[in-house]
Structure 1
Amino acid sequence: MALINDFKILQNKCVKYYELLNKEIPLVNPQESTSAKARLGFYLFMIENICNVKDITEQVELITDLEFNRCLYGTGVDDWGVDAVHIDYEENNINLFNFKYREKFSATKGQGINETILSAKFVNSIIHEHLNGLVGKVKAKATEVIKCLNSDQVWGFKLYVVSNEVESVSAVHDHLGILRDSYGLEVIPIALPYIAQMMSIRPSPINAKLVLDVDALMSYEEHQLASSKSYIARLRSSEIVRVTCNNPAIRDKYDIEDLSSLSDVKLDFGVLFDNVRGFVLRSKYNSNITTSLKEEPSKFFMYNNGITIVAKSIKSRSINGGKKFILELCDFQILNGGQTVRTIHNFNSDDSSVISDYLSKSEVLVRIFNTSSDEKNSVNKIAEYTNSQNAISNIDLKSLSSEQIALEQYLEDFDIIYSRKMGDIGHSETKEYKHKIAMDKFGQVLFSIQGFPDKASNEKQHIFGKYYLQVFVENFDISSSPEIIDRYYSILREYSLMKEEGVQPLELKYYYALYIGTKQVTWSIGNIIRFLEEILIKYDAPSEMSIPRRMIQLKFKNFIDDELTKMDT
């Protein structure tokens, strides 16, 4: 059950998102009241956490809502009941959003079905390919969705109904069934209780106690003189539920005989704070985990990769004549296996019989590392290496590297939020930050400055793969990062101001402007932009070739180099 404090925490977080937006892309119609600011920030916060889009400028491009665009640009168009459209080309998902932000907390009011039905207008126009009446960004997004649905690829089609109300509309509501059956649209309601789990607030230390048979536990010491031990254990899934639940008393009660008391406990999301994946709302791997638990619980140990835990300290003692051991985990975190833990809890919530019929009969491999004598960097390496065997993007994996953590800490001193994971809004709740830049966006910025603006957009994954050492280690001085970020956002602001001159902002243009600035250090940003716009006109390319397609060609980048060389001679 969501409480009023969850409502207030969310409001404060959303206001921060609004303030960062207003700094990077100043609003034509700035908001005055706290609730009005929070309403706009709510869009950004939810898009970041659901779509894993951390860059503010990219988030804004997804938003079709009339009122949001009117506040930002001074004008907007009818959104046809859909407030944002995100097309995930990596996972083949089309995500539509319907947002509703309530200004006042109500302990009794939940989501209404009418808000969801409003989105049917946009969905109907897509399914029947009738775009009459749609204009601007809304029409462009609808056209893009239709192109995906008409392709040979299989696409997921989802509508997220998102509000800060205390209760979500039932996913099995008859009206939602009509949307699902008529349009093949999966409706996913999200309300305050679920949002409260997303909010990244560093948890209080989480502790738990375990009892294990001798044959289910193996200790490990890095060397014979080491003062602390780590362990590899075989744990029942029901014990995973107990030690990761949100009830401290149950986490310490290692001798529970009646498992029914575990059937209604919830996951304490604080144990996943340092998990590489952060908060994952839906995952294609979760269904496989549930199937294994339900159909072959006794073989789950063989099918699952296991869980990795780090604890600040581990106390152990033998009991029952040395036949069992008690482990006391102090201040522990799950670094790897977060999806397994989440899915076990979700499965447990399906029915009161699950805990005894399935989870008590399945086991999981658990590695428990004692980090009492390790530096933070060792913990990050454990997280990075144990996650590297799973289906995690290079970007998420590198968020744990020492270079990225050092960047986050360094930029904090310059009042810049370096967002390594979803939901990052800085270390301080009170500090006024200048910028927020996503880790992947900064990688693209560095790659452009280092001479590859043509590759920065369509080779983003490679920046954190085969180019990683080149970009972040060999050709990078951390002391230059604040100035680089300031210049990047200055370019964004200049493009925003020049829209009145007919200059259209574009991500690739930002990267080229950064690159040109390294060649012509005395030019103003305005002069750089005008030069680039002239080059785009001058460059010989087929008329049907779009501007972005031209700019990702090495030939285009070489053409710019040649033009710059002519100007210097």
Structure 2
Amino acid sequence: MLTLNEFHVDFLQSVISDSESRGLLKPQSFFELFCEDLVDIGDLSTNYTIGEYTKGNMEVYGYDYDEERRIFTVINFHFFQSDEIQTLTKQQLQSKFNRLKRFIKASIDGLYLDVEETSEAYSLAFNLYQRVKAGHVDRFRLMVLSDGKATKSASEIPSETVDGIINDYRVIDINYLFKIYSSHNEGSSYDIDIKIPYLEIQNDSDEYQSYLSLLNGNQLYEIYDEYGQRLLEQNVRTFLQFRGGVNKGIRNTIEYNPELFFAYNNGITATATSVEMENGFIKKIENLQIVNGGQTTSAIYAAKKNGRLDISNVNVQMKLSVVKSPEKEGEFVSRISEYANTQNKVNKSDFFSNSPFHKEMKTYSKRIWAATMGGSQQRTHWYYERVRGEYLNEQAYLTPAQRRQFAIENPKKQLIEKTLLAKSENTWMQKPHVVSKGAQYSFVEFAEKTTSQLEKDQLAITENYFREAVSRIILFKAVEKIISNADWYENAYRAQTVTYSIAYLSYWLKKNNQYLDFNLIWEEQQLPYALKDVIKIITKEVYTILMDPPDGFKNVGEWCKKEHCWEVVKKAKINFTLPSKLLKTEREQQYVHKEERELKKIDKGIEAQKFIFETAFEKWISLYAYYCRQENLRDLTITQRDILRKFTNGQLSVPSEKQAEILFEIYNRTKELGWDV
């Protein structure tokens, strides 16, 4: 397993790689990468926004607002940029916190009036002012991020109340990030002290132990108030507020019949990594995760927090499963999420983590070699990282020599993160307003689109798609760099300008029935000079448009999230010409698409045949017996049942590719139904 020092070195390499590929300063890359990890585990919400203001004795780089808990977070950082882990002192932290406190006070006093309206800082200062004046902030959370390691005494700073609002102080250092990486559930380990009754459910499973328990409304409120979205990080849905009938029913029950809540509500389904008991009560739960019942939890919380309702007579049943096998935890929790969530409609994207898309992308990322660059003879891969930390984890048990070879073949700058892929693809699909809402919103949109596409056409993800997707990532990063180096760029709203500029190019091509030859980017692993020249023209014009929002939209960041903004940009008449050498004809596009699909069919057939022969024959016999039961007879077509029967009877010693695909499909479908074949 990797040590803290090795993790620190890897994290710094990520910062350097990100900085170089995107044209950012290292502190900017450090801050963005750090915050993305915190959004991932729920320490920051999807409302997190970059907003830099450094002037005089005030300093802030980003902010977040948790609407449910009414917590406004302001973020500062201390980046050492050292090869060795440095100690973060109490004096350094106090200085950073004091700068944040002064900014909060100035913002409450109307700082936004003295800030340029089109700057990111204006959005931050105005949002803070507006929410405080409206009485929508119960707590400020002052957060300092660092690649150093804080001592316990330095990081434990007590909360204080300023002008009736609680100020909490959070220090998130490299050790905290390391715990996130090390934890099996992708979140830092935490214990919840509690006292709840339980009934142990007897079973012989090696995977889990289950308990039935009961939580009082106030207990659930306090847990959510403390841990927020971290409790729901593996949950498949977010709170729908009181829009749906189910949630209105929950609120009505809390308000008018709280004593009947237990009878009316399905309760919550949760997992944990361990529990401690004492005198017939569960007294401690480690890493509690609510995988079903997120809306119940949020509704109870909102009823007390916003509705000021009494929840002391509300009781909620909890089905708690303690996962015994850490290596199976992710799969086990995912399965519980999928099977338990039937109360409301669940979007396809909610289960995207189980999509075959990931397997396809991972297979191609390991198989396809990128073109060499700059005279080098070393071929490399673009590494697809489905789960945060996967790239680092794959190196955990390699020897030093093997790690060096891995790094050479899978350079950090060629790491494909799923959220970056989503931003790049959504941008090319002309959804810049969605991308501007943040990485998480963008990812959900991408998951919806991709899952629907795969349901219609299992041949959609081909080698050519992989190469073009990588080329679009190269394009995305190159545009970031072009904007960062432009003399007209004023260090604000780069992300929005990037996505709107590329989306405009995509729209222009489609409108003119033209196709960009992504193979030129793939072969060079960079943008052709002629394309860079076009990008420079588009980005400057788009930036000018975005910085001049219509009346009522002085906040540029919020304006960019509106579809109307995209409609305005699309109407722009930007003068440029794309040289024919950058394009390919419609016939060429169709030919490549057809050829790739034919190859994919062959690959799928061979893969299915390999799977059939590698799977124990006893499992196929069991599978056939399952579908011979009276209640399951109609689950297969006559052709499917006939092929399965012939194979188990020995009549198909070598199934054809088509027959193997049918057997493969039957096997996977049955597994998805929850039967462990």
> Under TM normalisation by the shorter chain, which class is it?
0.5 to 0.7
The one-letter code matched in structure 2 to 1:161 is M
- Which residue matches 2:14? 17
The one-letter code matched in structure 2 to 1:401 is S
- Provide Cα deviations, 1:443-486, integer angstroms capped at 9, x if missing partner: 34334434655665567476257544345665742422343233
From 472, 475, 487, the equivalent of 1:490 is 475
Bigger Cα Rg: 2
- Which residue matches 1:445? 424
Deviation at 1:17, TM superposition (A): 2.9
Deviation at 1:93, TM superposition (A): 5.3
CA 1:529/1:92 → structure 2, altered by over 3 Å: closer, same or farther?
farther
| 1:233 and 2:210 correspond | yes
- Which residue matches 1:33? none
Q: Work out the number of aligned pairs and report it.
A: 436
Instruction: Give the match's secondary structure for 2:110.
Output: coil
Deviation at 1:147, TM superposition (A): 6.4
CA 1:304/1:16 → structure 2, altered by over 3 Å: closer, same or farther?
farther
From 153, 170, 189, the equivalent of 1:189 is 170
Counterparts of residues 85-96 of structure 1 (less than 5 Å)? 85-86=63-64, 94-96=72-74
For the Cα contact (< 8 Å) 2:73–2:140, is it kept in 1? yes
CA 1:99/1:495 → structure 2, altered by over 3 Å: closer, same or farther?
closer
For the Cα contact (< 8 Å) 2:433–2:565, is it kept in 1? yes
Counterparts of residues 237-248 of structure 1 (less than 5 Å)? none
CA 1:456/1:133 → structure 2, altered by over 3 Å: closer, same or farther?
closer
Instruction: Give the match's secondary structure for 2:168.
Output: strand
Q: Which runs of 5+ in 1 are unaligned?
A: 31-38, 67-76, 207-214, 221-227, 239-271, 281-287, 312-331, 340-360
- Provide Cα deviations, 1:52-106, integer angstroms capped at 9, x if missing partner: 499xxx999726276xxxxxxxxxx668222333456898754211223566555
| 1:50 and 2:31 correspond | no
CA 1:534/1:230 → structure 2, altered by over 3 Å: closer, same or farther?
closer
- Provide Cα deviations, 1:284-315, integer angstroms capped at 9, x if missing partner: xxxx9xxx9xx99xx7998741335799xxxx
For the Cα contact (< 8 Å) 2:432–2:503, is it kept in 1? yes
Instruction: Give the match's secondary structure for 1:64.
Output: strand
From 361, 366, 380, the equivalent of 1:407 is 361
Q: Distance in 2 between matches of 1:538 and 1:111?
A: 39
Structure number having the greater helix percentage: 2
Counterparts of residues 379-390 of structure 1 (less than 5 Å)? 380-386=334-340
CA 1:542/1:97 → structure 2, altered by over 3 Å: closer, same or farther?
closer
CA 1:122/1:435 → structure 2, altered by over 3 Å: closer, same or farther?
farther
Counterparts of residues 213-362 of structure 1 (less than 5 Å)? 216-217=200-201, 219=203, 233-234=210-211, 276=234, 304-308=267-271, 336=291
- Provide Cα deviations, 1:311-354, integer angstroms capped at 9, x if missing partner: 9xxxxxxxxxxxxxxxxxxxx99794799xxxxxxxxxxxxxxx
Counterparts of residues 496-507 of structure 1 (less than 5 Å)? 496-498=481-483, 499-502=485-488, 505-507=497-499
Instruction: Give the match's secondary structure for 1:187.
Output: strand
**Structure 1-normalised TM-score?**
0.55
| 1:469 and 2:451 correspond | yes
Deviation at 1:134, TM superposition (A): 5.3
For the Cα contact (< 8 Å) 1:95–1:158, is it kept in 2? yes
- Which residue matches 1:211? none
Instruction: Give the match's secondary structure for 1:276.
Output: coil
Q: Distance in 2 between matches of 1:8 and 1:443?
A: 31
Deviation at 1:131, TM superposition (A): 4.6
CA 1:470/1:502 → structure 2, altered by over 3 Å: closer, same or farther?
farther
From 76, 79, 84, the equivalent of 1:98 is 76
- Which residue matches 1:81? 59
Deviation at 1:189, TM superposition (A): 1.7
| 1:511 and 2:503 correspond | yes
- Provide Cα deviations, 1:261-303, integer angstroms capped at 9, x if missing partner: xxxxxxxxxxx9997369x9xxxxxxx9xxx9xx99xx79987
Q: Distance in 2 between matches of 1:161 and 1:120?
A: 11
Q: Distance in 1 between matches of 2:347 and 2:71?
A: 17
Deviation at 1:107, TM superposition (A): 10
Q: Say what the alpha-carbon RMSD is for the aligned residues.
A: 6.1
The one-letter code matched in structure 1 to 2:77 is F
Deviation at 1:15, TM superposition (A): 0.5
Deviation at 1:25, TM superposition (A): 1.7
Q: Distance in 2 between matches of 1:535 and 1:336?
A: 46
Q: Distance in 2 between matches of 1:525 and 1:489?
A: 12
CA 1:391/1:562 → structure 2, altered by over 3 Å: closer, same or farther?
farther
- Provide Cα deviations, 1:407-461, integer angstroms capped at 9, x if missing partner: 3564466644545555665544442223445434433433443465566556747
CA 1:511/1:395 → structure 2, altered by over 3 Å: closer, same or farther?
farther
From 105, 109, 130, the equivalent of 1:128 is 109
Q: Distance in 2 between matches of 1:200 and 1:487?
A: 32
Instruction: Give the match's secondary structure for 1:82.
Output: strand
CA 1:80/1:166 → structure 2, altered by over 3 Å: closer, same or farther?
same
- Which residue matches 1:177? 161
Runs of 4+ in structure 1 off by over 6 angstroms are 58-61, 88-92, 107-111, 228-232, 272-275, 299-303, 332-335, 368-372, 374-379, 390-394, 558-565
